[in-house]
């Protein structure tokens, strides 16, 4: 048996429910939530889709660490403290010597709650859109594919791996205090397109101008929390640093 202590919310009402779940080897936290939803309380709500850590739906705060529920094993959570009462969003958790049979589950921070564990993702998606996250092809499109060396492909891959789960956003101290800050995911995306040799110069320039701002790369505290929590090893802060360098170099060139 494992106990899930879940933060519930319906309108203004906020409360915590404790559910007992029969766990089994290999069970992940998303399965535990389904157990509750199907067998104990049909009104519990949360987002999900792939159950395989690829779709980015199920980000939530688990024992005060933002993570994907489907990628988090219940057996691992047994060896962690719940950190209840700790106001901070943590990036990793300590290990306990003895089993802990309680898990604390709360919605992803820095986004408004719609109900229970479902948060309003609209601001996150809009911030993403602000950085023009798409490729404008160059004018001379080749008849076949663009030739790209493997090294560039691999560099890009670190950033194309982003699943837009908003876990980084939930851990980010700047996002917490400044709702206009584009945030780690959007800025990592901006770097992904800046890095892409197929990108059109004009669009690249426009995007750099957008992120050359306090809502953009200069807003970042460079505390690397997003890097620590990203389930896909995307490393947004590194992208932000690269963008800062790029902007600085461009300015020097212009001078």
The site for other proteins (CB under 8 A) is made up of 10, 26, 28, 37-39, 42-57, 71, 73, 114-116, 118, 121, 125, 129, 132-137, 141-142, 144-150, 153, 156-157, 160-161, 163-164, 193, 196, 198
Residues 205-234 that bind ligand SF4 (CB under 6 A): 230, 232, 234
Instruction: Name the minimum Å distance from CB 164 to ligand FES.
Output: 10
Instruction: Name the minimum Å distance from CB 109 to ligand SF4.
Output: 13
Instruction: Name the minimum Å distance from CB 50 to ligand SF4.
Output: 13
Q: Whose CA is closest to 102, among 127, 126, 77?
A: 77
109 touches ligand SF4 by CB under 6 A = no
58 touches ligand FES by CB under 6 A = yes
Instruction: Evaluate whether 66 touches 117 at the Cβ level (below 8 Å).
Output: no
Give the binding range for ligand FES (CB under 6 A) out of 49-57, 109-117, 118-126, 211-219. 49-57
Q: 110: how many CB neighbours lie within 10 A of its CB?
A: 22
68 touches ligand FES by CB under 6 A = yes
Residues 4-43 that bind ligand SF4 (CB under 6 A): none
Instruction: Name the minimum Å distance from CB 164 to ligand SF4.
Output: 5
Question: Which residue in 53, 113, 195, 208 binds ligand FES (CB under 6 A)?
Answer: 53
Instruction: Name the minimum Å distance from CB 10 to other proteins.
Output: 6
How far is 61 from 89, CA to CA, in rounded Å?
Answer: 8
Residues 148-207 that bind ligand SF4 (CB under 6 A): 162-168, 184-185, 188
Question: Which residue in 2, 56, 170, 199 binds ligand FES (CB under 6 A)?
Answer: 56
How far is 191 from 193, CA to CA, in rounded Å?
Answer: 5
Judged by CB under 6 A, the number of residues near ligand FES is 13
Judged by beta carbon, residue 67 or residue 174, the one nearer other proteins is: 67
28 binds, among ligand SF4, ligand FES, other proteins, none (CB under 5 to 8 A by kind): other proteins
Instruction: Evaluate whether 53 touches 70 at the Cβ level (below 8 Å).
Output: yes
Q: What's the distance, CA 108 to chain centroid?
A: 9
Instruction: Name the minimum Å distance from CB 27 to other proteins.
Output: 10
């Amino acid at each position: 048996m494992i106990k899930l202590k879940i933060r519930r919310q319906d309108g203004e009402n906020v409360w915590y429910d404790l559910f007992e779940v029969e766990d089994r080897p290999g069970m992940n936290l998303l399965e535990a939530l389904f157990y509750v939803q199907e067998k104990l309380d049909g009104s519990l709500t949360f987002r999900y889709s792939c159950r395989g850590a690829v779709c980015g739906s199920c980000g939530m705060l688990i024992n005060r660490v933002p993570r994907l529920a489907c990628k988090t094993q219940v057996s691992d959570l047994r060896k962690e403290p719940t950190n209840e009462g700790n106001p901070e969003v943590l990036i990793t958790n300590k290990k306990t010597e003895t089993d802990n049979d309680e898990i604390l589950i709360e919605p992803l921070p820095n986004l408004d709650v719609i109900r229970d564990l479902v948060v309003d993702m609209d601001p996150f998606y809009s911030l993403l859109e602000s950085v023009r996250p798409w490729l404008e092809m160059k004018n001379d499109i080749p008849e076949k594919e663009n030739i790209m060396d493997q090294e560039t492909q691999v560099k890009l891959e670190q950033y194309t791996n982003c699943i837009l789960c908003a876990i980084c956003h939930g851990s980010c101290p700047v996002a917490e205090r400044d709702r206009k800050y584009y945030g780690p995911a959007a800025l990592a995306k901006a770097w992904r397109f800046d890095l892409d040799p197929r990108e059109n110069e004009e669009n690249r320039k426009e995007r750099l101008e957008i992120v050359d701002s306090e809502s953009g790369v200069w807003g970042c505290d460079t505390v690397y929390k997003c890097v620590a929590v990203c389930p896909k090893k995307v490393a947004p802060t590194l992208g932000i640093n690269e963008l800062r360098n790029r902007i600085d170099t461009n300015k020097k060139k212009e001078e």
